[in-house]
Amino acid sequence: MEDSKGILTISILVIALGICWLLEAMKVLENVDWVLIGMLVVGGILTMTIGGVDKVTVVVGPFLILTGIFAFLRQREIFTLELMVPTLVISLGLLMLLSTLSPLGRPKWLEDEDAADDQAPGAG
């Protein structure tokens, strides 16, 4: 299972790099910082791909993707910074609310930390 995650991760990175490169070569949407946008969107996708789907990744992944989309819209002067920031704050709150209300489990690293705290001397 871990091998397929690694191959999937590399595949996503190669596809994203190719898309950004193609858009740049075709002079489609010039004056767009594809590196920033690509890092945000790919970071969001990889968060959910590598981390799996849990209460943390369903907040972080979509938030990074949305931030990348909004950064693109801002660079194209479709969305202003004054609208972008409050919209992102509202979106983050909604994602956190949905995560809290969802039946998804907690991330493994967080449960490992809780187990270590329970086993610590003087805990409980």
The answer to whether 123 and 117 have CB atoms below 8 angstroms apart is: yes
124 inside domain: no
What is the distance between the alpha carbons of residues 44 and 54, in angstroms, rounded to a whole number? 14
76 inside domain: yes
- Give 39-72 pLDDT, tens digit per residue: 898 889 888 888 888 899 899 999 999 999 999 9
Which of residues 93 and 39 earns the better pLDDT score?
A: 93
Residue numbers of the domain that contains 82: 2-119
Confidence (pLDDT) at 117: 62
pTM > 0.85: yes or no:
no
Confidence (pLDDT) at 97: 96
pLDDT at residue 120 is higher than 70: no
Number of domains in the chain: 1
